[in-house]
A = this chain, B = another copy of it.
Amino acid sequence: MSDVTEQGAAEGGGRRARGEGRGAAARRASRTGGGPGPSLPYIQRRIREYEVLDEEGLQLIERNADVVLEEIGIEFRDDAEALDLWKAAGADVRGQRVHFPKGLCRELLKTAPKDFTWHARNPERNAQIGGKATVFAPVYGPPFVRDLDGNRRYATIEDFRNFVKLAYMAPSMHSSGGTVCEPVDIAVNKRHLDMVYSHIRYSDKPFMGSVTAPERAEDTVAMAKILFGDDFVENNAVTLNLINANSPMVFDETMLGAAKVYARHNQACVVSPFILSGAMSPVTVAGTLTQILAEVLAGAAFTQLIRKGAPVLFGTFAASISMQSGAPTFGTPEPSLVSYGAAQLARRLGLPFRTGGSLCGSKVPDAQAAHESANTLNMTLLAGTNFVLHAAGWLEGGLVSSYEKFMIDQDQLGMMQKMAEGVDLSEDAQALDAIREVGPGSHYLGCAHTQANFQSAFYRSPLADNNSFEQWEIEGEKRIEQRANALARSWLEHYEAPYLDPAIDEALKEFIAKRKDSMPDAFT
């Protein structure tokens, strides 16, 4: 690691070494009407969590999960090291099936942190994961995009960069995420390099690592070390990494391989059963919660076998399946109940919790998309979720990253951030003097208290049209997705890259070039 790089890491990638920084540029862009307001720090919730299970119900699910772990067991597939580690830890391993003595996983998880800092190259963008913090990250994984010309097509690296830029600019998006879309114009075995680079180059918010193969996880760590320095990475979480369980009750070689790399380097794993109830879990909420808890206990405890103290999250991706068509469904009541319950189980376990987002099954950003997303997102906030993947841009069951929906969703994230502030009970907010001043039959529009407070009083949506019908008609009868389209174009026009130390940039490019030269393109 060169001195230049170390220096860069200490200064958050050198962001503040020159230039005016992001805040001033954002404020200027905002004044001119083209860009967003300044980015907000991660949410520190001042509202309480909503709960759907009482103590008795929670204990019931926990007992049942213990039965699943001990009697049925969890498979750790095609990973001899994992099985050896479990044997050494005292589990009963039969073939690839691991049976866990009661209490073993909980005991192992005592070394996992209750909360931790997810570091960004700009320290102002560091995010707390756990406790009262909530952190939003964009959609993850779609191979397709709905672009700004209305085309549904395969995603490219250009789309990927655009979504990173939009996430960087969105005030209530606290991370630029991970696979914001799959850049299918780049070879499968190389695209992770361009993805990680894009997160570093076009944003200064914290980002996620590649999990599609152990060597890609190693590449992610290597690039993070160029940015932050070796020691910093080994001692701090600079990436969050999505480790899906292959539900029901399986962790496969790929996920285990990635989890081992990240945990070894002290990077955070989000152990997430990916559940479509009725297919990957029982058709009931209680049965689904039991299986989720068992899977997370096994997967999260595994990270502690790799490295005690490695950060790990209790993840849940909950949807249902249509028993008519077999298609996944989103924003319905049952997954909400699952997520509320899982959040409670995670708090009792002392692990940060991931669920939710702005999920939907609709093909277009219409009222179906919005209802399903809003039902999911309101639940996500009130459940007390710490890390929210898919918080913006998700369309069509996760097959599509949509520019328009990204803009609509990020506006809703702003509302959630305001909601999380709860009720201000200060003397000024009580407004007794204003009520005295105005009195019966008058109005508050001009009173001093209103004038002094209105700027901060209400969340202001950049997309909602609340004008009169006549005004709206004159302006072309636009639907919200048309306004979202215009806003996305405007933001991308006003985008300014955050400063990155040229020496770091050069080192990253060199690393990427070397890695790409070392292997032929693979397309599967």
14 pairs of residues in contact across A and B, judged by CB atoms under 8 Å: A64-B432, A248-B439, A249-B439, A282-B435, A284-B431, A287-B449, A325-B467, A329-B466, A331-B415, A332-B415, A332-B418, A333-B421, A367-B405, A368-B463
A248–B440 CB distance below 8 A: yes
Whether, in the assembled complex, A151 has its beta carbon less than 8 Å from a beta carbon of chain B, the answer is: no
B457–A284 CB distance below 8 A: yes
Alpha-carbon distance between A152 and B432 when the two chains are bound, in angstroms? 42
Of the candidates B341, B361, B429, the one whose C-beta lies within 8 Å of that of A466 is B361
Nearest chain-B residue to A364 (Cβ)? B479
Alpha-carbon distance between A169 and B518 when the two chains are bound, in angstroms? 67
Of the candidates B48, B286, B331, B428, the one whose C-beta lies within 8 Å of that of A424 is B286
A334–B375 CB distance below 8 A: no
Nearest chain-B residue to A291 (Cβ)? B435
Contact residues on A (Cβ < 8 Å of other chain), bracket: 35 or more
Of the candidates B152, B423, B428, B444, the one whose C-beta lies within 8 Å of that of A278 is B444
Contacts A283-B450, A423-B53, A431-B286 given: A480-B366 contact, CB under 8 Å?
yes
Chain B residues near A449: list those with CB within 8 A: 282-284, 287
Chain B residues near A464: list those with CB within 8 A: 329, 361-362, 368, 372
Nearest chain-B residue to A252 (Cβ)? B441
B457–A283 CB distance below 8 A: yes
Alpha-carbon distance between A137 and B181 when the two chains are bound, in angstroms? 42
Chain B residues near A440: list those with CB within 8 A: 72-75, 97, 248-250
A466–B278 CB distance below 8 A: no
Chain B residues near A60: list those with CB within 8 A: 425, 430
Contacts A290-B435, A397-B466 given: A283-B453 contact, CB under 8 Å?
yes
B322–A466 CB distance below 8 A: yes
Chain B residues near A67: list those with CB within 8 A: 432
A441–B246 CB distance below 8 A: yes
**Which residues on A are within 8 Å of B, measured CB to CB?**
47-48, 50-53, 57, 60, 64, 67-68, 71-75, 97, 152, 246, 248-250, 277-287, 289-291, 320-329, 331-334, 336-337, 341, 361-375, 378-379, 382, 396-397, 399, 405, 408, 412, 415-416, 418-419, 421-426, 428-432, 434-436, 438-445, 449-450, 453-455, 457-461, 463-469, 472, 477, 479-481
Number of identical monomers bound together in the oligomeric complex: 2
A371–B368 CB distance below 8 A: no
B441–A248 CB distance below 8 A: yes
B453–A367 CB distance below 8 A: no
Alpha-carbon distance between A51 and B327 when the two chains are bound, in angstroms? 35
Nearest chain-B residue to A323 (Cβ)? B454
Nearest chain-B residue to A434 (Cβ)? B282
**Most-contacted residue by chain B among A440, A443, A460 (CB, 10 A):** A440
Of the candidates B280, B399, B422, B467, the one whose C-beta lies within 8 Å of that of A327 is B467
Alpha-carbon distance between A423 and B445 when the two chains are bound, in angstroms? 45
Chain B residues near A282: list those with CB within 8 A: 431, 434-435, 444, 449-450
Of the candidates B53, B287, B333, B439, the one whose C-beta lies within 8 Å of that of A434 is B287
B419–A333 CB distance below 8 A: yes
A286–B332 CB distance below 8 A: no
